[in-house]
């Protein structure tokens, strides 16, 4: 029987509070670089971390903003960095795609996973492929949510 008890990662950022507003520096209206992420309570035995950043409020369904995996276990992922291997975002490119909502406030979820293995995935893999590869390997997970609305809307 598989043990389904997962630990909890504590995810925070020096750039914004949980459920707070993401500064424009990290969006399409700024430098469009990833915000710094602080990751606490990484379990012993974690081999790598992975991140899925998504916007469930996008008009055509959930939009994938950032997929990255095989990040060495660390308590701090710096802003404007490429900490691991990047997958394909909703814009069809690899790397970070900053918040750029067409209207109103959208919510952006930074899901962080601690895995017991390295993932054997090609650069540019999509979210479904990443999620499938992570199955059975997640030791702990946590989430940080930020909100953003374009200026002047």
The three-point CA angle 15-20-24 to 5° equals 55
Per residue of the chain (153 residues), give pLDDT as tens. 344 568 999 999 999 999 999 999 999 999 999 999 999 999 999 999 999 999 999 999 999 999 999 999 999 999 999 999 999 999 999 999 999 999 999 999 999 999 999 999 999 999 999 999 999 999 999 999 999 999 875
Instruction: List, in order of start, the domains of the chain with CATH numbers.
Output: 7-148 (3.90.280.10)
Which of 25, 2, 16, 39 is closest to 140 using CA atoms?
39
DSSP H or E segment with residue 129? helix 127-134
d(CA 151, CA 23): 11
Q: How far is CA 5 from CA 10, 45, 126, in A?
A: 16, 15, 26
């Amino acid at each position: 029987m598989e043990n389904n008890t997962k630990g909890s990662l504590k995810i925070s950022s020096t750039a914004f509070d949980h459920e707070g507003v993401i500064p424009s520096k990290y969006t399409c209206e700024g430098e469009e670089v990833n915000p710094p992420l602080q990751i606490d309570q990484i379990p012993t035995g974690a081999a790598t971390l992975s991140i899925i950043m998504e916007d469930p409020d996008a008009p055509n369904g959930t939009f994938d903003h950032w997929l990255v995996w095989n990040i060495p276990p660390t308590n701090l992922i710096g802003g404007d960095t490429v900490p691991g291997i990047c997958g394909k975002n909703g814009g069809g490119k690899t790397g970070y795609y900053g918040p750029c909502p067409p209207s109103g406030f959208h919510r952006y979820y930074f899901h962080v996973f601690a895995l017991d293995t390295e993932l054997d995935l090609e650069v540019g893999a999509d979210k479904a492929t990443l999620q499938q590869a992570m199955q059975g390997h997640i030791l702990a997970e946590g989430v940080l949510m930020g909100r953003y609305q374009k200026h002047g809307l």
